Amino acid sequence: MEIYKVLYFLIILCYCTLDFNNQALAAKSCEFPAIFNFGDSNSDTGGLSAAFTPPNPPYGETFFHMPAGRYSDGRLIMDFIAESLGLEYLSAYLDSVGSNFTHGANFATAASTIRPQTRGLTEGGFSPFYLQVQYEQFQQFKNRSQKVRNQGNIYREILPKGEYFPQALYTFDIGQNDLAAGFFGNLSVQEVNATIPDIISQFYTDFKSVYDEGARSFWIHNTVPFGCLPYALASLPVNASEYDEAGCIIPYNKVAEYFNQKLKETVVELSKELPSAAITYVDIYAVKYRLISHAEKYGFEYPLVACCGSGGKYNYNSNAACGDTITVNGTKTVVGSCENPSVRVNWDGIHFTEAANKWIFDQIVDGNFSDPPVPLKMACHKFA
């Protein structure tokens, strides 16, 4: 009897897969005229740099050949998303110099969180531009941009058309710093886990706010394997028995996995509540962990060691971070990068190199790590 149940399950699974594939084949590629992004340093293209202090060289050295407001040696996943859709790189909403918002705007800033934090940047904490503030900036931008654009002249060349807002792709990549706030705020693993439902609840509220402004196509990244980041490995307490085969810290990764589980549950709930919304959940965690745990297989090396940093097993020291000027034996020197960032996974202990970002993008663009398994260019369609 059990074998018939298994066969029945496989038949239903095949039918559902075929049905999804048929829907996908019948659908046309989306023509996204713009992208509006919400997030943290994983997708910040110059927000924090414009508002506060820009990163120093060697940030940006690989592609831009100078600091470009990004916390990497070059392009981010967000840049590759824009490229693949035939759009210009997103200008940061907060950047008043040389910005062009014709095809969208980026509200992400490094150190941003979903929930507001008590410790600000001057205390070594987090950005004041948490997710609700980013939504409020978007709301203001949406309204004001159309009033100003209607004045004509140059404004028509640097601000988006009104019809772009409902047609645009809305991307989210945020949550890593909410976990960091707990871990580096001396909370236990159990205590950080206990904060996650409230964090996700706030995400739900802010997402609905963006939807209520007319957004309909969404591309949501989950969070990283936190226990694989050099700054976590070098700074957080851990027992010798708590490392996995890749050298990552199991308890911290488990918290990230719990965050992702609750985020995915919320995305499923939102998809049911909002039938006109096409929401794609992207498992960035799985892709990044695959790269870190099998780095050599994919042409990379030293996945747990920062390319740009100073000292120790993981080449990370918060007091001598990438681009900082430090004194060594009485001589001032700049903390620089490794010889070949193109074969390294981690850039500065927290963020990924351009090469890693490109590899990660290549894995997710076709929908292989998405739920539903929708390619980026089809993310405007809602599949049953």
d(CA 43, CA 75): 10
Cβ atoms of 160 and 101 within 8 Å: the answer is yes
73 assigned to active site: no
79 assigned to active site: no
348 assigned to active site: yes
Q: Which residue out of 44, 217, 348, 381 is catalytically annotated?
A: 348
CB atoms within 10 A of CB 67: 18
Q: Which residue out of 206, 351, 370, 381 is catalytically annotated?
A: 351
Residue 368 to residues 84, 285, 287, 358, 376, Cα–Cα distance (Å)? 16, 13, 10, 15, 10
Cβ atoms of 64 and 74 within 8 Å: the answer is yes
The 3-state secondary structure of the chain, one letter per residue: CHHHHHHHHHHHHHHHHHHHHHHHHHCCCCCCCCEEEEECCCCCCCHHHHHCCCCCCCCCCCCCCCCCCCCCCCCCHHHHHHHHCCCCCCCECCCCCCCCCCCEEECCCCCCCCCCCCCEHHHCCECCCCHHHHHHHHHHHHHHHHHHHCCCCCHHHHCCCCCHHHHCEEEEECCHHHHHHHHCCCCCHHHHHHHHHHHHHHHHHHHHHHHHCCCCEEEEECCCCHHHCHHHHHHCCCCHHHECCCCCEHHHHHHHHHHHHHHHHHHHHHHHHCCCCEEEEECHHHHHHHHHHCCHHHCCECCCCCCCCCCCCCCCCCCCCCCCEEEECCEEEECCCCCCHHHECECCCCCECHHHHHHHHHHHCCCCCEECCCCHHHCCCCCC
Catalytic site positions:
41, 348, 351
